[in-house]
A and B are shown apart, each in its own frame.
Chain A
Amino acid sequence: MNLRQTIQAIQLVVIYLVLQIFFMRNLVLFNYAFSFIYIGIILLLPVETDRLYVLLIGFLVGITVDIFSNTLGMHAAATVLVAYIRPFLLHYQMEAKGVDRLEIGIRAQGFMSFLAYLFPLILIHSSVLFLLEMNNINMILYSLMRIGATSLLTIVFILILELFSKR
């Protein structure tokens, strides 16, 4: 990671966190669809980022969001899990394409493979969140609907933000 990438990564963290904490926190559609766009920070970090840093950034970002939503530990757990799985998915994509260097982004990867990279991770993230939050097995259907709706809304927002970003 060079200096330019580091600055870009810091920008990414700040923009997504501010958006999440100040705006997306209030945006809940039909009481089902939340938008946890901050997960985009972990998903869009450059591929070369050290795996250890990805894990630590994930934890810090998760804790920050937790502090602002009174759910200490939940977002952190979900985000760390995503940060851990991310390299495997990237590795898989690289092997499938037969390249040894990959750049993340809708333009660099192409829409379909970008989506194929985003979707599983976002689904895992919201699943962990809502299943951790669920304290009663009777709420499982409700939680599943929330997981689906939240994943979709989050993906839509991340795609929109990605379309507007310069990378």
Chain B
Amino acid sequence: MLQLVDFVVRNRFFLVFVLLEILSMWLVVRSNNYWGATYFNTANYYVAKALTISNDAREYTRLGDINSNLAHENAQLRAMLTDLQQQSPPNAPAGYLPDSGFAERFTYSVAKVVDNETHYQNNFITIDKGTKDGIAPGMGVISATGVVGKVRVCSENYSIVTSILHSQFMVSTKLLRSNEIGYAKWPGKNPNEIDLVDVSKYTKIIKGDSAVTSDQNAVFPPGIMVGRVKSLEVNQNQTFYNIVLDLATDFPNLSYVYVVKNNQLEEQQGLRNSIEQAK
């Protein structure tokens, strides 16, 4: 008996070691069984809470990646959306069936804004995609929330976009509820507001109505948000409303944009040119 006690005392570290190892191994084996869902894992509330904090910190460093992934996803979703919309236009008569080439004429590519100005009379935006990525002058540019502008010049890797905040840029715009078409044009002051001109004063315009790009538009896909009616007034001497729209695109904080390519633009413009030459 004394010998046994003596043995235990002499080898107590080894015995504790063996005991702990057996306990560990037992835990390993037990948690390998799929039914052995234990309490001691990351499903535990406090553990999960702690891990969430750690993940938040990590995610913060990866926000750039996450943003660009979302932007790519947006581009795909937009392409799908215009496809669907063009295959069954919401306000077309029952017999109208667009051919698939027309419905799928818009393709999108994502670009990052590398330089953005909003303070001048004529503002331009620089994006990080150029001819190498298939960007060409004349293509439309939109953001996740609304129209942005039109590509003006391209180099190999960069392009300059005429922002809609440009004194000579006009977008054919439709008011959704009153179904009126006019032109959006920037007066050159506030980067959050844009004027809508050429809307006849004999129609009823509702405050807060959405203004979207119209179907008579070769550059932008139809139905892209331009803004919302903020205020309207009638000038007695004129036949048009003075409408001010709240711009849908947040220009001061623009970070990713989508370049819209209309695959049938050349065809459309070629036809147009042939008439104008004949005149």
Chain A residues with a Cβ closer than 8 Å to the other chain, count? 30
- B15-67 contacts to A, CB under 8 A, are 16-17, 20-21, 23-31, 38, 40-42, 44, 47, 50-51, 53-54, 57-58
A72 to B30, CA, bound (A): 9
- Our pick among B16, B24, B27, B50 for the contact of A21 (Cβ within 8 Å) is B50
Q: Is A68 a contact partner of B24 (Cβ separation < 8 A)?
A: no
The interface residues of chain B lying within 8 Å CB-to-CB of A84 are 13-14, 17
Chain B min CB distance to A42 (Å): 13
A67 to B58, CA, bound (A): 20
Chain A min CB distance to B269 (Å): 52
The interface residues of chain A lying within 8 Å CB-to-CB of B26 are 73
Chain B residues with a Cβ closer than 8 Å to the other chain, count? 28
Q: Binding site of B, secondary structure by majority: helix, strand, loop or mixed?
A: helix
Q: Is B16 a contact partner of A52 (Cβ separation < 8 A)?
A: yes
The interface residues of chain B lying within 8 Å CB-to-CB of A69 are 42
Tell me which of A63, A67, A69 has the highest count of chain B C-beta atoms within 10 A of its own C-beta. Answer: A67
Q: Binding site of A, secondary structure by majority: helix, strand, loop or mixed?
A: helix
The interface residues of chain A lying within 8 Å CB-to-CB of B189 are none
Q: Is A77 a contact partner of B24 (Cβ separation < 8 A)?
A: yes
A74 to B26, CA, bound (A): 10
Q: Is B54 a contact partner of A26 (Cβ separation < 8 A)?
A: yes
Q: Is B54 a contact partner of A23 (Cβ separation < 8 A)?
A: yes
Q: Is B31 a contact partner of A72 (Cβ separation < 8 A)?
A: yes
Q: Is A77 a contact partner of B21 (Cβ separation < 8 A)?
A: yes
The 3 closest A-B pairs by CB, nearest first: A73-B27, A73-B28, A77-B24
Interface residues of A (CB under 8 A from B): 21-23, 25-26, 51-52, 55-56, 58-59, 62-63, 66-74, 76-77, 80-81, 83-84, 87, 132
Interface residues of B (CB under 8 A from A): 12-14, 16-17, 20-21, 23-31, 38, 40-42, 44, 47, 50-51, 53-54, 57-58
12 chain-A/chain-B pairs, Cβ below 8 angstroms? A23-B54, A25-B54, A58-B20, A59-B20, A59-B23, A59-B24, A72-B30, A73-B24, A73-B27, A73-B31, A77-B28, A80-B20
